Amino acid sequence: MVSAPILEGTNFIQTGLQATLKALSTKANTLVNAGVVEQVLTKGFTEKNMLLAKNWYDGLMQVSNTVKQYRRVRHLFERQTAIITIYSNYIGKFKADPNLRPEQVAGIVRGYTTLIQESASYLDDLTAIVSPLKSKMTDAERMELIDALDDKVTHQYDLVSYFTRRNMAMSFRQNQAAKDLATIKQLYGLAK
């Protein structure tokens, strides 16, 4: 987690920059409005300074390598890959499982579809966070949002894992029930 002093320092710089730009703009506009022709040059100079300061500030807000290489970004992609792997490894097995009824398989497909779609939406969120063109944030703000997103994706991974285990257990129970029924029928000589 990024420490508060870094964030406070960035906010201090941003506040100071905004105050300076506002003061320069006010002074230049006052001089121009007073009809001082020579001061038009001052306004132009001020605007160029404001543009330079804006470019500096925009550069500050660009996504740095620190954010791009942040371990939790990599972890997000690892978890997303694991979610897709679980889905691809088990969906075909559930569809072919003779112990599951068609309506159960349809429910499993719907459940996986919902979980995968939610998971994909997190990648959209990540793209917005790490794209300098989508939003202006400090590195600390981006990392904080990435941490929250990583927690959501980890929770999503846990849900997909649980959902898979639950469906496997349902298949196992139904298989056992069918075997138990066959054993009872055999024991009592009932129709096979």
pLDDT of 60 above 50: no
pLDDT of 66 above 80: no
* Cβ-contact 25, 54 below 8 angstroms: no
User: What pLDDT, on a 0 to 100 scale, did the predictor assign at position 33?
Assistant: 58
- What is the tens place of the pLDDT at every residue in 25-55? 565 555 555 554 444 544 554 555 455 555 5
pLDDT of 13 above 60: no
pLDDT of 119 above 50: yes
Mean pLDDT of the region 55-78: 71
pLDDT of 64 above 90: no
Listed residue (138, 135, 130, 133) closest to 10, CA to CA: 138
User: Max CA-CA distance within the chain?
Assistant: 112
Query: Please, what is the end-to-end C-alpha distance for the chain in angstroms?
Result: 64
Structural tokens at position 138: 């400090």
More confident residue, 22 or 52: 22
d(CA 146, CA 66): 12
User: What pLDDT, on a 0 to 100 scale, did the predictor assign at position 6?
Assistant: 42
Total number of residues shown for the chain: 192
Buried b (16+ CB within 10 A) or exposed e, 93-129: ebeebeebeeebbeebeebbeebbeebeebeebbeeb
Tell me the pLDDT of the chain averaged across its residues.
Answer: 76
The percent of residues in the chain predicted with pLDDT above 90, rounded, is: 27
User: What pLDDT, on a 0 to 100 scale, did the predictor assign at position 71?
Assistant: 86
- What is the tens place of the pLDDT at every residue in 124-180? 788 778 777 666 777 888 889 999 999 999 999 999 999 999 999 999 999 999 888
The percent of residues in the chain predicted with pLDDT above 70, rounded, is: 64
pLDDT of 59 above 60: no
pLDDT of 20 above 70: no
